[in-house]
Amino acid sequence: MIRLESILTPGRSLVNAPGGSKKRALEHIANLISREVPGLEMQDVFESLIAREKLGSTGFGNGIAIPHCRLKGCESPVSALLHLDAPIDFDAIDGAPVDLLFVLLVPEAATDAHLELLRQIASMLDRKDVRERLRNASSNEALYQVVLDVQNGH
């Protein structure tokens, strides 16, 4: 089983990330990922995430969104985690604004393992204590550490 800490890095875990709007947040994510992952282009990441949002919002409720998509040129899953400096409207199912975004990009030929990653992310963010710990993280490293701790049963 693929573990979240193997696809997320401290460099792709951001506190006080600029929000502004759904589009701006997704642009910021695409920029971040293209800087961190050689071979992934900002525009490709951005357009794929936007196209996925058009199928239906990835806002899951409780201030959480899990933007995800299949991506051409993506060889293995890539994740990013952002806590926004201010909540934004994300067309979430409960109508609540979103301030935590856990992004998942998977190869075009996505498998059951990739669906399992999405389930892992969703079940982790379903826990109120985890959401509070993520929101209280004061640095990028601390944000990343919450995910490690949860994965290791703490």
User: What gap in Å lies between CA 105 and CA 18, rounded to an integer?
Assistant: 20
What the block records as the tokens of 25 is: 């947040």
Mark residue 20 as left, alpha or beta (left: phi above 0; alpha: psi -120 to 50; beta: remaining). left
Q: What is the DSSP letter of 79?
A: E
Asked about 154 being catalytic, the answer comes back as no
What the block records as the tokens of 101 is: 């975004």
Q: What is the DSSP letter of 56?
A: S
- Per the DSSP assignment, residues forming a β-bridge with 83 are 15, 100
Phi, psi of 54 (to 5 degrees): -65, -25
Check 68, 83, 114, 154 and give the catalytic one.
68
Run of H or E including 67: none
Active site residues: 68
